[in-house]
Structure 1
Amino acid sequence: MGQGGEPRRAKERDGELGAAVERAQTGDEDAFAVAYRLVQPGLLGYLRGLVGDDAEDVAADAWLEIARDLGRFRGDGAGFRGWTATIARHRALDLLRRRRTRPQATALEQDLHDLPAAHNTAEQAMETLSTRRALDLIAGLPRDQGEAVLLRVVVGLDGPAAARVLGKRPGAVRTAAYRGLRRLARDLGGVTDEGPPTLGESR
């Protein structure tokens, strides 16, 4: 957001990320630094949407766990982004529990397989905003929608990967992301009657 197409760039870098993670698992500290540099911006944006100003502290705790358990990770670059997001989310939820604030459970179970893929109005609208402004807007969404949008648009995960992070059905996450982006685009005056926004991928 504010950087035009960050999710697409994240996916384009998945090959580089996967190679860096593989080298880091052999003890290559420079490769771990590369993986950190590729993942941290999206991860920090996600955490800011969950815990606000405590995001950097939560990210630091998450990276300690990531470094400790790196040898147990199995997967490619996209899988690593999902794995790190899962760890970061757990640390964020620990903090929220300590604050005695629990995330709202999603009530959305509708699948969006049959919705037409029209325009990317919502995603495009979000990409024109500064990160701070976008996170402020996302903070106003119901938590299930906000998390889905953060994972899809900020971290750059696809629907199934975001669903694994959240522990929900892919259809429920697609619904939450769609409704969140639709609401954001409406708030920004970017939704028309030409069809629902998409998330830049096939369903």
Structure 2
Amino acid sequence: MEQGNHARGSAVPIRDFDHTLRAARRGRQSAWDAIYRDLAPRLLGYARAQGAPDPEDLVGEVFLEVVRSLPRFTGSAEEQFRAWVFTIARRRLIDVRRRAGRRLLQLSAPQELEAALGGFDEDALARLSLEHVLDLLGHLSDDQREVLVLRLVVGLRTGEIAAVTDRHPEAVKGLAKRGLARLRERLAVGERHADADVADEPTPPPLGGGRR
């Protein structure tokens, strides 16, 4: 599989997933490269936003397991495959957290999140800096943050997130709704503080010192 630059770039969608998956099952390298180009950037964004200490290493481990376990994958739809891959990634991340013996809170800045938030053109979140968004995500519960990362960074749908996290779709919707509400609440607090700081600043004198 191709690695390195593709993991840090943008996802390249697979044009014919059924054909690609069949070719991958037969061991065709070009098929695995296509799968890697599509999923590696999403996996990297997920690992970063979830605080993995070595995101690229995690992506590599996930793909090794995907290659080894593909014969046991029984689905055929792209959505099923994507959910299966991110289920593996989630389990790997849980293992990393257990080994670390603590909750991983250090969030790095995935470009994928900035791009995803750009789609919310009617939402105040879209006007935030990426660093501010990641800081806000740190105020969410683990469950809320996980659901929103899978939605915003990875681009999974509700059903896929439900499969990855082993939750009912309605539970996923509820976590996303509460998480977004919490983000907007934190955003509103920040905006009020900023408005207060501006109001406290002295009014500058008119041009010319006010003399005529």
State TM-score, norm by structure 1.
0.68
Q: 1:37 to 1:27 in 2, by over 3 A?
A: same
CA–CA separation in structure 1 for the residues paired with 2:168 and 2:41: 26
1:183-194 alignment runs, 5 A limit: 183-189=182-188
* Equivalence for 1:147: 146
Q: Identity rate of aligned residues, in percent?
A: 38
1:1-203 alignment runs, 5 A limit: 13=13, 16-73=16-73, 74-101=75-102, 125-126=124-125, 134-189=133-188
Q: Report how far residue 127 of structure 1 moved.
A: 5.3
One-letter amino acid matched to 1:101: R
Aligned length: 164
- Could you give the per-residue CA deviations for residues 9-61 of structure 1, whole angstroms, max 9, x where no partner exists? 98x94654443223211111111111111111111111112234322221111
One-letter amino acid matched to 1:26: R
User: Which piece of structure 1 moves more, 144-153 or 73-82?
Assistant: 73-82
Segments of structure 1 that go 5 or more residues without pairing to the other structure are 1-8, 104-119, 190-203
One-letter amino acid matched to 2:142: R
* Equivalence for 1:6: none
CA–CA separation in structure 2 for the residues paired with 1:92 and 1:128: 30
CA–CA separation in structure 2 for the residues paired with 1:45 and 1:157: 13
What SS class does the counterpart of residue 50 from structure 2 fall into?
helix
CA–CA separation in structure 1 for the residues paired with 2:76 and 2:54: 29
Work out whether residues 147 and 176 of structure 2, in 8 Å CA contact, stay in contact via their aligned partners in 1: yes
Q: 1:34 to 1:59 in 2, by over 3 A?
A: same
CA–CA separation in structure 2 for the residues paired with 1:178 and 1:158: 14
Q: 1:130 to 1:70 in 2, by over 3 A?
A: farther
Q: 1:122 to 1:151 in 2, by over 3 A?
A: farther
CA–CA separation in structure 2 for the residues paired with 1:15 and 1:78: 14
One-letter amino acid matched to 1:97: R
One-letter amino acid matched to 2:80: G
Which structure has the larger Rg over C-alpha atoms? 2
CA–CA separation in structure 1 for the residues paired with 2:177 and 2:121: 9
CA–CA separation in structure 2 for the residues paired with 1:64 and 1:134: 32
Q: 1:169 to 1:34 in 2, by over 3 A?
A: same
Work out whether residues 46 and 154 of structure 1, in 8 Å CA contact, stay in contact via their aligned partners in 2: yes
Segments of structure 2 that go 5 or more residues without pairing to the other structure are 1-9, 105-118, 189-212
* Equivalence for 1:109: none
Higher relative contact order (CA 8 A, sep 6+): 1
User: Which piece of structure 1 moves more, 48-57 or 62-71?
Assistant: 48-57
RMSD: 2.9
